Every structure is written in C-alpha cells, then in structure tokens.
Amino acid sequence: MLERVDDVGFTLAVLDDVARRIAVDRERVYATGLSNGAMMAHRLAAEASERIAAIAPVAGGMVLQRFAPARPMPVLHIHSLDDPRALYHGGLGPVFPGTRFRVLHPDVDEMIKRWVERDGCGPSPRVVETLKAANGHTATHLAWGSCADGVEVGLWRLTGAGHVWPGSPAGLPRLLGADTEVLDANQVIWRFVSRFRRLTQ
C-alpha cells in the first residue's frame, strides 16, 4: 500500500489468466496465506468480495486504508496469542532481520469484531472445540453464527505457537517462535472454506 502497487488488481489478473488456461470454478475461489499472505487474504476479501468465496488467513492482521466489503464474507482466522512477530494484541512488531522495517499490527480480537459486524453475525461466539497438544500448546475454535447470507466468522486462537503455519514445521524458533502440531491448518481451512460458494449474479 505504501508504494501504491495494485496488489488486488494483480491478483485478480492472475486469476483471470489461470482461468483462461484451465477450468476454474469461479464460485469457489478461496484465499489464504501466512503473515503478509494473511494480510493479502483479508485485503482481497475487503476489496474484491465479488470474486472471493471465503478466506482463511493465518498469523497476519487486516491492514487496510478502507474497510467496506461489498458483500458478507466467510472468514476463518488462525492466530497464536504467543506470536512474536504478528502480535495478537496489536502494536509495533519487531524489526525484520537485516532491516530497520517494522509493521504496526492490529489487535486480532478487534479485527474479528469488524468482520462480525460487517457480516451481521451475533455478537457472542460459541466455543466449538478446544484442542491440547502433549507439549501444552492449545487451540480454541470460536465461531460467530447467525450471520447474513449464511456466512460464518471463525477464529482459532492458539497458545504456545509462534509465527508459523500450524501443522507444518518451519524450524526457525529463534526467528519465528515455536512450531506447533496442535492443529493442522490445512485440514481446518479446507473444512471451513469448502462449505461456501460465491453466488454469481
């Protein structure tokens, strides 16, 4: 955003190019990503909701100049309370290695509240399940229902995990914090997004 690069336009152009080459179900285009990729998934949902069926960002907040999605959006966010880089409760993150660059992160609970309000969900979540790994890491799944157009907002709130993709070891604990096996992000993301289709006009 700082350099005014049209990342959303580029992503949509890539989608169009892929669709010209192979069969794409345009009703089932989903977005996910880790860290900056998570930020981009939130941005696609906010700025191109007519093209995206659901999002599932991991360990990256919603950093937008304008938040006005055109339609309700199914959202599943995964984030650790102990993430040392994308701070769960917001604030200025640590310096990126080899640079002087730092990122101001949003508070995850406040960010989820924005999606809950936009999607017209009930204000209080239900606890769907809580998992605990042998090493003490936990994962609690919160879900907000009764949303507009049958969408849902969900949050997997982890403890013990670092700035990592749950279920896939990064092996960089000094930089990213602890890996975690308390949750398989691939499985829970697919289980969530595959429930939703974007209704075409």
pLDDT band at 103 (very low <50, low <70, confident <90, very high): confident
The first and second tokens of residue 78, run together, are 């995964």
Q: Is the residue at 29 inside a domain?
A: yes
pLDDT digits (tens, 9 = 90+) for 38-75: 999 999 999 999 999 999 999 999 998 889 999 999 99
Any domain includes 2: no
Give CA–CA dist 3/10, Å, rounded: 14
Of 77, 118, 110, 115, nearest to 91 by C-alpha is 110
Would you state the pLDDT for residue 2?
A: 55
What does the pLDDT read at residue 158? 98
The answer to whether position 121 is within a domain reads: yes
Residue 1 maps to a domain:
no
- Buried b vs exposed e over 110-132: b needs ≥16 C-beta within 10 Å? ebbebbbebbebeeebeeeeeee
User: What pLDDT band is residue 200 in, cutting at 50, 70 and 90?
Assistant: low
Range of the domain at 49: 7-193
Q: How many domains does the chain have?
A: 1
DSSP state at residue 148: G
Residues 119, 182: Cα–Cα separation, whole Å: 29
pLDDT band at 3 (very low <50, low <70, confident <90, very high): low
Can you give the pLDDT at residue 37? Answer: 97
The domain spanning residue 121 has which CATH number? 3.40.50
Asked, for residue 200, whether it belongs to a domain, the answer is no
